[in-house]
Amino acid sequence: MKNTIFGNKKCLLTTAILFELSIQSMDVNAAVILVDQTNCNLASAITAANTDSIVSKCTAGSGADEIVLSSGAQITLSEALPIINSTITIQGNESSVERDGTDIFRLVDVQAGILTLNDITLSGGASENTGYSTAYGAGIRVSSGTLNTNNVVVKNNSGVGIAIMNNSVATINNSVVEYNTGLPTYFSGGGGLHVAGSQVEVLGSDISNNQNLSVAFGGAGVYISNQDGASTVNINSSSINNNTSNRSGGGINAIVGGNGEDTITLNITNSTISGNTAAENGGGIHCSIISAKITSSTITANTAAGYGSYQGRGGGVSCGISFPPAGSAITIEQSIISGNVAEIGNEVDDLFAVFSGGYNVIGQQGNNGISGPLTPDVSDKVPTVGIENIVEDLTDNSSDDNRGMTHGLVVGSPAIDLINSSINCEGNDQNGVIRPLDGDGSSTNECDAGALEFYFDLIFSDGFE
């Protein structure tokens, strides 16, 4: 059932504020560099912006520059674009940039620069299988820089789609990261997104159908490490679906290594994690020695498959360590974790670090599917019904394709109106629908568990159309 009640006033206000801030922050001396691929190609335009000089017939850059591509242009690269080390906005105008398939090179490389990408598709990039610093970011690599994407598609890249590394900052907004592959090497963590020692926001985006072939790290959708320092990743109103990992973490793998002094913080809100597969642990999410909070999200249909004699653990979530340091904990609240599969702990594999924040739907058919000491809160519900009576199949429930596919709630789902009206919940669901709504016809607005809010339609419930 598609939700149609949106927080329009809030969306309009937010848009107006962002527009005003963008106007205020514009560099009045910035140059606009037009790329027509005849007099000025994209590579020359980047060099002109970096150096504030005329290159070929491209306008000289001046401060924070704007590169404008022709509408719907198809740009095929035979060699790598120049490294971006200045402040540049690329207006793609629904253009595409792809590698010609001959030499191996990544498409976009930001080093100590600030790049904003709007309305563009990047595909076919390839990174070298030679070590940690080269194996990531075949589509986009950012090192000690800043990346902002808006309505960007990063797809079919070999060597992780996007890598945010070495004290960088990124906002991935209303974008799609799909069909990317992590290389079959020890160094290659991630398939869609790799984060190391950086701060990343994923907003209203879709990270799906990526693959990780690493012999060590996993994390087919998203891989997070403290390799370059502490990392913080916030995922909001997004989907991480149908990713496949050769190791742990089909959807997400977040692991603190070394002495643990540099931490990882992961927050997942109003998001869907579905249909992911890990060969080891954590079909949906695998994490160790991190601080994490999962709120108003749906984690279902994920698999920790195991291999040979190894038994996969935690179909939905596998997190923890036997003796976690202070502050290392994973809290799950107001979420659905049901219909996942593993040989040990279908829903959750808890190694002394997972806690319930309350008002979750956990398990199905009377079985909570938990392995380990995690005890459901008194406000949690273990359904007596199967997953088919909890959520609908994965489908497009949004008017915005970039948010990804989601699971709507089935009529009569135990997730509907689960959260008492006295309890605070997220103001909107994954698709922007206002919470809370009356989902059971009781005339009381109460929030649902999971990523989507269900609306009770009295007319249709009476059989009228």
Q: Are residues 46 and 92 in the same domain?
A: no
**Cα(202)–Cα(233) distance, rounded to whole angstroms?**
8
What pLDDT digit, counting tens, does each position of 205-263 carry? 999 999 999 777 889 999 999 988 999 999 999 999 999 999 999 999 998 876 567 88
CA geometry: angle 295, 118, 200, nearest 5 deg: 35
Lookup: tokens for 433 = 């629908």
What is the maximum span of the chain, computed from C-alpha positions, in angstroms?
70
Rounded Cα distance between 363 and 365, Å, is: 7
pLDDT digits (tens, 9 = 90+) for 270-299: 999 999 999 999 999 999 888 999 999 999
Is residue 343, in this structure, part of any structural domain at all? yes
Q: Which domain holds residue 199?
A: 84-420
Q: Which amino acid is at 118?
A: N
Q: Is residue 101 pLDDT above 80, yes or no?
A: yes
Of the pLDDT bands very low, low, confident and very high (cuts 50, 70, 90), residue 25 is very low
* Count of domains for the chain: 2
Pair (43, 99) in one structural domain: no
Do 37 and 88 sit in the same domain of this protein?
A: no
Q: Which of 53, 83, 113 is the last residue of a domain?
A: 83
Of 252, 254, 251, the C-alpha closest to 226 is 254
Q: What pLDDT is recorded for position 86? A: 98
Please tell me the predicted confidence (pLDDT) of residue 100.
94
Considering the domain architecture, whether residues 92 and 224 belong to the same structural domain is answered as yes
Express each pLDDT in 72-97 by its tens digit.
999 999 999 999 999 999 999 999 99
The answer to whether residue 439 is domain-embedded is: no
The answer to the question of residue 16 being in a domain is: no
Q: Is residue 95 one of the residues assigned to a domain?
A: yes
Residue at 125 is within a domain: yes
Q: What is the pTM of this model?
A: 0.91
Q: Does 106 lie in the same domain as 58?
A: no
C-alpha neighbours within 13 Å on the C-beta side of residue 429: 32
Is 188 in the same domain as 331? yes
Average pLDDT, the chain: 89
Residues 296 and 359 in one domain: yes
Does the structure show a pLDDT above 90 at 197? yes
Same domain, 43 and 152: no
In this structure, how many other beta carbons lie within 10 angstroms of the beta carbon of residue 441? 12
In a shared domain, residues 63 and 128: no
pLDDT at 325: 57
> Which domain CATH number covers 245?
2.160.20
Say yes or no: 63 and 184 in one domain. no
Same domain, 212 and 361: yes
pLDDT computed for residue 457 by the predictor: 63
Residue found by looking up tokens 């007596």 in the block: 384
Distance CA 433, CA 6 (A): 4
Confidence of residue 28 (pLDDT cuts 50, 70, 90): low
Within a domain: 17: no
- Is the same domain home to 351 and 366? yes
HEC-encoded secondary structure of the chain: CCCCCECHHHHHHHHHHHHHHHHHHCCCCCCEEEECCCCCCHHHHHHHHHHCCCECCECCCCCCEEEEECCCCEEEECCCCCCECCEEEEEEEEEEEEECCCCCCCCEEEECCEEEEEEEEEECCECCCCCCCCCCCCCEEEECCEEEEEEEEEECCECCCEEEECCCEEEEECCEEECCEECCCCCCCCCCEEEECCEEEEECCEEECCEECCCCCCCCCEEEECCCCCEEEEEECCEEECCEECCCCCCEEEECCCCCCCCEEEEEECCEEECCEECCCCCCEEEECCEEEEECCEEECCEECCECCECCECCCEEEECCCCCCCCCEEEECCEECCCEECECCCEEEECCEEEEECCEECECCECCEECCCCCCCCCECCCCCHHHCECCCECCCCCHHHCCECCECCCCCCCCCECCCCCCCCECCCCEECCECCCCCCCCEECCCCCCCCCCHHHHCCCC
351 - beta bridge partners?
Answer: 320
Sheet with strand 211-212: strands edge to edge = 181-182, 211-212, 244-245, 277-278, 303-304, 341-342
Asked if residue 56 belongs to a domain, the reply is yes
Confidence of residue 327 (pLDDT cuts 50, 70, 90): low
Domain boundary among 403, 420, 437: 420
Structural domain includes residue 257: yes
Asked whether residue 341 carries a pLDDT value surpassing 90, the answer given is yes
- Six token digits for residue 81: 């674009």
